[in-house]
Amino acid sequence: MLSYNVAALLKSEPGAQRIFDVDVDISGIDQDLVLTRPLTGKLRLIKTDSGILVTGRLETEASVPCRRCLAPMIVGVEMEIEEEFKPSIDIFTGAAIAPADGEDEVTRIDDHHILDLTEVVRQDLLLAVPTSPLCRPDCRGLCPACGADLNEETCTCQRQDEDPRLAALRDLL
């Protein structure tokens, strides 16, 4: 999916880089994400003194519910990636490299020099998807009493707009 063999890059001098075009279907990356088109963009992998720095801009589209009427809608999702990945094996000696204190396991390059971006992309996508979008600026939402979509029909409920618990405060005005 989003895996890259970085053995040659790890053998390079710091500053060496590779650029990758991304166009991959990641629709099953997370059960809470409904993606409607492939993930696209560019990634730059740069050799650092201690690992590989991955930077890039990726985009896709997701289906999310409107915050007022709950109708599904498609929103664009753009995200920036900037994450350094550290090797778990020394590329020249083959000796294991212990993770640093507090180092996240998802940012480790595996024993076969494969850098896997899947979990980093999943986490970044969850943060980048809008949490409370509106299907349109004048969305009227749902009736709190009967649940009717007020964008499509007029509610016939007899609603009391005022909370009776606030009647004493209203009398003060």
The 10s digit of each residue's pLDDT in 96-151 is 888 887 778 899 999 999 999 999 999 999 999 998 899 999 999 998 888 888 88
Q: What is the pLDDT of residue 156?
A: 80
Report how far residue 72's alpha carbon sits from residue 39's, in angstroms, rounded to the nearest whole number: 20
In this structure, the strands spanning 114-116 and 17-24 are: unpaired
Q: pLDDT tens digits for 18-46? A: 999 999 999 889 998 999 999 999 999 99
What is the value of pTM for the model shown? Answer: 0.81
Closest CA to 20 of 6, 30, 10: 6
